[in-house]
Homo-oligomer: A and B are copies of this chain.
Amino acid sequence: MEKFSVTVLGCGSATPGPKHFTSSQVVNVRNKLFMIDCGEGTQIQLRRSRVAFARINHIFISHLHGDHCYGLLGMISSFALLGRTAPLFVHAPWEMWNILSAELDFYCRDLDFKVEFRGFDATKAEVIYIDRSLTVTTIPLKHRVPCAGFLFREEPVPDHLDRQAADFYGVPSCEYDRIKNGGDFTQPDGTVISHDRLTKPAPAPRSYAYCCDTMYNPEMIPQIMNANVLYHDCTYSVQETQNAVKNFHSTSADAANTAREAGAGQLVLGHFSARYNDETVLQNEACGIFPNTILARENLEIDIL
């Protein structure tokens, strides 16, 4: 199976503390690396992980709270010190451009690579990245400021040709691509050999949904339906529901209900408030609603299966 995994670099909320770094993670899709969020200290965590710094070409910023973006300038400066020449694409809410460009002008005037800013409107679902094997779409979330989650979805791949069957039915090689992409084969005598008899089905496209920061947001369910893995804001326990609503964050129950309603394969809880010495309480609460729930932690690598 092609590589598709997520490495958590930080999963704490608000301020980097003794237990957790603030939000950042790296998604690996067929060895292309994509960073999501970049809180202060992200580059420290990145060096501690096994993730290859130089292979990150795209950084997606969910929203403009410091715990999700204060590490960006340091990342860019360190890329420069490490001799980067490839362009770096920063995808973020449009509002970031003015301040980021001012910071780059001031602190990073002589970069040997281009920082290409790609703004998006966090209130709408937009395709913001696409290549042969992957699409990244923003997910409008409900937070105090415009905030987008990100849906990483593999592009469907053609079914695999069953060479033995193809030879048996006399399929010429010029027909292979059409058949892999869903076509049937008609023999010279008019007999139709169906697609299913000539191919083995490709694995279903996998998807990963990053939904942070957000309060409970049922409007996004159709968009993240059947995600193999859902990473969801879980700042609070259910006892702190009032705080969650007040601060536009989620409880463990909010996260678990979202996973259940979306038919997710696995739920990963993150963005923990520093008040929890042991986040098992959050996991236990969520498991009561959605059993396949795990806690994020720094350096956790999650395979998207």
For A15, A98, A107, the residue with the greatest tally of chain B CB atoms inside 10 Å of its CB is: A15
Complex: A222 Cα to B45 Cα, angstroms: 42
Q: Which residues of B contact A77 (CB under 8 A)?
A: 15, 66, 70
CB distance from A79 to the nearest CB of B (A): 10
Complex: A64 Cα to B64 Cα, angstroms: 23
Q: Is the interface of A mostly helix, strand, loop or mixed?
A: helix
Flag if A15 contacts B40 (CB, 8 Å): no
A-B residue pairs, 8 tightest by C-beta: A40-B74, A15-B78, A99-B106, A66-B77, A16-B44, A41-B41, A70-B74, A102-B102
Flag if B16 contacts A41 (CB, 8 Å): yes
Instruction: Tally chain A residues at the interface, Cβ within 8 Å.
Output: 28
| Complex: chain B residue closest to A82, CB-CB | B15
The reply on A287 being an interface residue by CB < 8 A is no
The reply on A240 being an interface residue by CB < 8 A is no
Q: Which of B14, B18, B43, B107 contacts A16 (CB 8 A)?
A: B43
Flag if A47 contacts B99 (CB, 8 Å): no
Q: Which residues of B contact A15 (CB under 8 A)?
A: 43, 74, 77-78, 81-82
29 contacts between A and B (CB under 8 A): A14-B78, A14-B81, A15-B43, A15-B74, A15-B77, A15-B81, A15-B82, A16-B43, A16-B47, A16-B74, A17-B44, A17-B47, A18-B44, A18-B47, A21-B44, A40-B40, A40-B41, A40-B71, A41-B41, A44-B44, A66-B73, A66-B74, A66-B77, A70-B73, A70-B74, A70-B77, A99-B103, A99-B106, A103-B103
A44-69 residues at the B interface, CB under 8 angstroms: 44, 47-48, 64, 66
Complex: A158 Cα to B30 Cα, angstroms: 72
Complex: A73 Cα to B66 Cα, angstroms: 8
Q: Which residues of B contact A43 (CB under 8 A)?
A: 15-16, 40
Q: Which of B41, B73, B102 contacts A44 (CB 8 A)?
A: B41
Q: Which residues of B contact A106 (CB under 8 A)?
A: 64, 98-99
Complex: A252 Cα to B98 Cα, angstroms: 42
